[in-house]
Amino acid sequence: MQRVYNFSAGPAMLPEEVLKQAAEEMLDWRGTGMSVAEMSHRGKEYMSIAAEAEADLRELMAIPANYKVLFLQGGASSQFAMVPMNLFRGHKKADYLLTGSWGKKAISEAKRYGTVNVACDASAGSGKFTFAPKQGDLSLSADADYVHYTPNETIEGVSFPYIPEVGDKPLVADFSSAILSGSLDVSRYGVIYAGAQKNIGPAGLTICIVRDDLLGQTIAGTPTMFDYKTHADNESMYNTPATYAWYLAGLVFKWLKERGGIAAQAAVNTRKAEKLYAAIDSNDFYGNPVEVSSRSIMNVPFTLADAALDAAFLSEAKAAGLVTLKGHRSVGGMRASIYNAMPEAGVDALVAFMANFAKRHG
């Protein structure tokens, strides 16, 4: 077996240690004679797995006690509706910061339930998303029920270098592609949500971290399953949760803790990103259109100056064990997603391949 370096934007690489442990425990978890996938979610074995995963996540992210941690289903796409359904109050108005494709989707869904003020549209003029606007350029409303943004836009590789200051409004963030990648002051947020399939675990699990004063008020017609309080009141077991995905997420949390937690991982992530951006910037063969201060350390899109070489780049990379590098169709070129589970050796291999490819084709 030869493992590859998989630069997929999500579902994405998982730590090899986690996969090995999962394989070993697949038929028998700690002498119970059953797989975690077979366990009743109401049984004490599974309850302990679930509770330990939550405790580890709380420790890793230093989540304050007045926040609920929910293990849900439906991905960020479901959150796009759940956020307005749970947070729209009297005004039914929210500010959305628009810096990429996912923010656009969030806006489109929120508009179905109330008024959206686009507090910034980073694509205005150019039609492209290449930067995160500065605090002073945000047009925030006085009467917004909340402010929503996407700290890291997966498709465009655009990241906020700061947490927006929004006064006493709840700040809501789609952290799908950035959660656990660096330290984060959870207390600055009202709601943090993230699809698991990038930095947490397998697809089919969504983590929501919700400040408890925001629970319990939904707009008319909100499905019971879309009410955060339903899940908060039941330890995310109102219905059967995605038990196996939750377990795998727990293994990933343990793996992160063993490696020194978020701070240690953030240092590795920064180093990986610096190497890759240096490789892109070191010559005119490659390019990345994102403003340097807004560059993502998780998703690194890049283009070849000669797009006619794209196919050769992808096939030669694949032959070298570097896969899923094709960029999103809306951006073109390449994209290397380098989440926590991408080893630094994978980035080193990509950087070496890029230099070699440029030399041969430049």
Residues noted as catalytic: 102, 174, 198
Q: Closest approach of Cβ 355 to its own copies, in Å?
A: 23
DSSP 321-347: TEE--BPPTTT-SEEEE--TTS-HHHH
Site for its own copies in 251-310 (CB under 8 A): none
Residue 47 engages its own copies in binding (rule: CB under 8 A) = no
* Closest CB to its own copies among residues 220, 308: 220
| Residue from the set 225, 312, 349, 355 that interacts with its own copies by CB under 8 A | 225
- Give which of 138, 68, 60, 136 is closest to 98, Cα–Cα: 138
Stretch that binds its own copies, among 67-75, 185-193, 299-307, 344-352 (CB under 8 A): 67-75
Whether a cis peptide bond, with omega within 30° of 0, leads into 11 is yes
Residue identified by tokens 């795998």 is 248
CA distance 292 to 296: 9
Residue 320 engages its own copies in binding (rule: CB under 8 A) = no
* Closest CB to its own copies among residues 72, 120: 72
Site for its own copies in 87-116 (CB under 8 A): 109, 112-113
CB 189 within 8 A of CB 209: yes
Q: Closest approach of Cβ 226 to its own copies, in Å?
A: 7
CB 66 within 8 A of CB 212: yes
For 242-253, letters b (16+ CB in 10 Å) and e give: bbbbbbbbbbbb
Q: Closest approach of Cβ 55 to its own copies, in Å?
A: 21
| Residue from the set 48, 224, 315, 330 that interacts with its own copies by CB under 8 A | 224
Residue 32 engages its own copies in binding (rule: CB under 8 A) = yes
Q: How many residues bind its own copies (CB under 8 A)?
A: 69
* Closest CB to its own copies among residues 81, 351: 81
CA angle 107, 328, 177 (to 5 degrees): 60
Residue 9 engages its own copies in binding (rule: CB under 8 A) = yes
| Residue from the set 187, 239, 282, 356 that interacts with its own copies by CB under 8 A | 239
CA angle 341, 8, 50 (to 5 degrees): 50
| Residue from the set 50, 53, 172, 205 that interacts with its own copies by CB under 8 A | 205
| Residue from the set 64, 161, 216, 223 that interacts with its own copies by CB under 8 A | 223
For 66-92, letters b (16+ CB in 10 Å) and e give: ebbbbbbbbbbebbbbbbbbbbbeeee
| Residue from the set 197, 269, 294, 340 that interacts with its own copies by CB under 8 A | 197
Q: Closest approach of Cβ 333 to its own copies, in Å?
A: 16
Token duo for residue 252: 């990933």
Q: Closest approach of Cβ 25 to its own copies, in Å?
A: 9
CA distance 150 to 158: 9
Q: Closest approach of Cβ 191 to its own copies, in Å?
A: 16
Residue 233 engages its own copies in binding (rule: CB under 8 A) = no
Q: Closest approach of Cβ 361 to its own copies, in Å?
A: 25
Residue identified by tokens 């990648």 is 181
CA distance 88 to 190: 13
- Give which of 107, 94, 106, 98 is closest to 141, Cα–Cα: 94
Kindly report the length of the chain.
362
Residues that bind its own copies (CB under 8 A): 1-4, 6, 8-14, 16, 19-20, 22-24, 26-28, 32-35, 37-41, 43, 73-78, 80-82, 85, 109, 112-113, 195, 197, 201-205, 220-221, 223-226, 238-245, 248, 321, 323-324
